[in-house]
Amino acid sequence: MERKGTYDEYAAEYAREVAGLEEAGVEGDPLGLLPRMLALLGNLDGLAVLDAGCGEGYLSRVLSSRGAKVTGIDVSPRLVRMAREKDPGGAIEYRVADLSEPSPDEEGRFDAVASRLALNDVRDHEGFIATLAAALKPGGRMVLAMNNPYSYVVRKHVSDYFETGGTHLYRGMAQQGVGVRFYHRTLEEYLDAFLAEGLRLTKLVDVPRVASNPNMDTLLPEGYRFPFLMILAFTKHGTSVR
């Protein structure tokens, strides 16, 4: 039986929301994520790149347009089917899999790993991070965009930052008909999981609200600003791929 509150259940509604973001283009990204992610990933021409939690392929298509050889993996069969339909030429390899589970076929395969707003939605974050780290070649880069865990207090999703592991509804997405849930964990817990896999943190980006998306700060008093999103960049120990 399908578990309620999953992206597979709300695939059509989620795809419609992403389509609105994609129409704005990379530089016009209302969330302000893509330009920063691409800058941290660097030159992707000819590199094998994993899009972890690819959904309906939004980030995969952006990476492919920059010359990357992209593999998109997601746990939702419906979203992966949509991604394939949006790539009729088959330039991108898409697969259905739970990246929280070990994936021996992917180990050491990728020059870079990218993930956009998937980490908060993963029940087993340690398993997910371990699989991504194993998939990365020595010297490879990993760039992940996520919701800032501290922001969940500011946004009144949680009242106790240190009470972790519970699931909560994304209210903004629910208003758009996407009733998915996320898992709250501290930033310390996330970073411990990355560092335990031999990854080196190279950059933490606090992503500010962009002018085209004023609603992100509506819970704050006038004149206050807070980063609701963040990007983490890592490298894997070893000789660089470039």
pLDDT per residue over 10-25, tens digit each? 888 888 888 988 998 9
**Residue 42 in 3-state DSSP?**
coil
Burial class (CB in 10 A: 0-12, 13-18, 19+), 20: exposed
Burial class (CB in 10 A: 0-12, 13-18, 19+), 9: middle
φ, ψ of residue 71 in degrees (nearest 5): -120, 120
Write down the pLDDT at residue 212. 54
Amino acid at 103: S
Write down the pLDDT at residue 175. 67
- What's the count of helices (H) and strands (E) in the chain, helices before strands? 8, 9
Domains of the chain: 11-148+186-235 (3.40.50.150)
Dihedral class, residue 67 (left if φ above 0, else alpha if ψ from -120 to 50, else beta): left
Among 67, 56, 73, 170, residue whose Cα is nearest residue 114: 73
Q: DSSP class of residue 25? A: -
Write down the pLDDT at residue 169. 73
Write down the pLDDT at residue 7. 82
**Residue 212 in 3-state DSSP?**
coil
Average pLDDT, integer, range 96-106: 95
Pairing mode, if any, of strands 229-236 and 199-207? antiparallel
Whole-angstrom Cα distance, residue 25 to residue 159?
36
Asked whether the predicted pLDDT for residue 2 surpasses 50, the reply is no
How many Å from the N-terminal Cα to the C-terminal Cα in the chain? 45
Amino acid at 6: T
- CA distances from residue 102 to 55, 97, 131, 208 in whole angstroms, order as listed: 19, 10, 6, 34
Asked whether the predicted pLDDT for residue 30 surpasses 70, the reply is yes
Strand partners, 116: 145
Whole-angstrom Cα distance, residue 242 to residue 230?
26
Each residue's pLDDT tens digit, 178-204: 667 789 999 999 999 999 999 999 999
Write down the pLDDT at residue 213. 53
Average pLDDT, integer, range 36-52: 98
Whole-angstrom Cα distance, residue 47 to residue 242?
10
Asked whether the predicted pLDDT for residue 1 surpasses 50, the reply is no
Strand partners, 201: 234
> Where do runs of H (alpha helix) occur along the chain?
11-23, 34-41, 58-65, 77-85, 125-135, 151-154, 171-175, 187-196
Each residue's pLDDT tens digit, 133-145: 999 999 999 999 9
Whole-angstrom Cα distance, residue 146 to residue 114?
11
> What is the residue-averaged pLDDT of the chain?
89
Write down the pLDDT at residue 211. 57
Pairing mode, if any, of strands 167-169 and 48-52? unpaired
Write down the pLDDT at residue 201. 98
Asked whether the predicted pLDDT for residue 84 surpasses 70, the reply is yes
